[in-house]
Structure 1
Amino acid sequence: MRSPATALLALSVLVLTGCGPTADDIAAMADGETTYDDALALRQDVVDAGVECPSVEQMSSPAAAGTTFLQCDGTMAMAVADSEERLAELLAGIGGEEHAPFLHEANWIVIARSEAPLEVLQAEIGGRITASP
């Protein structure tokens, strides 16, 4: 069995030679969580996973300019937070919604009216599904 340190070292060599993932990619692999720069990047992975999201209109939060939001349609929306504190605020706010399942990880969240699209996304991009009581 290969150790995680050996795998990270190999990936680092690829980065240094310009043949592999970036340092940010390696950091995400090391902690096992996927992060996104903004909601458009998250949307791209959502679409690549086979879940429809026709909108490409990203909005920035007036309170935290690095936090972005995107509404796919009337059944799904997503956000990428600029800090752990902001993500915690988003999760707390969504937790108050009645029966609103959401998928979240590292610095992002996807909320939907049903768990079905979230299960598809979870299989492709990871994260944890939480359902509000």
Structure 2
Amino acid sequence: MSRVEMEMKMNMKAAGTWLKGAVALLALSGLGAPAGALDMMVWDQNLDTKLAYGESAGGVMRGQMVRDASGRVVILFSRSDPERARAQYPGLRSRYEGEVRGSQVLIKLPGGLQSLEQFLASYRLKLDLTEISGGR
């Protein structure tokens, strides 16, 4: 085998290794946040204690909520940059006032209080919160 052929073979091998690494990196970069993910946190009105949190995946907002929580709360939503670019969840604000009554989160809207479940349904999301003990 000539020197030129050996160099070409080595270059092709290096290119193949680089390509495999690039493909793996691209595949892993998509695993960080599922498409359509929306994060939610519910804090007491002073933002001292997190009372609930959730993340959407597959059309369901799943999370946990502190058992026996009650009173005025602040509800925070966050979207990733790709979601904002796709204009997913149009009209959704990042902060809402509300309250917790009988282990139900209510959001204060111009028309009055609405359950978190009804609110999320308008964004085609179902709610699945599991009660836990203690605040975080």
TM-score range, shorter chain: under 0.3
TM superposition score normalised by structure 1: 0.28
Higher relative contact order (CA 8 A, sep 6+): 2
* Bigger helix fraction: 1
The structure number with the bigger radius of gyration is: 2
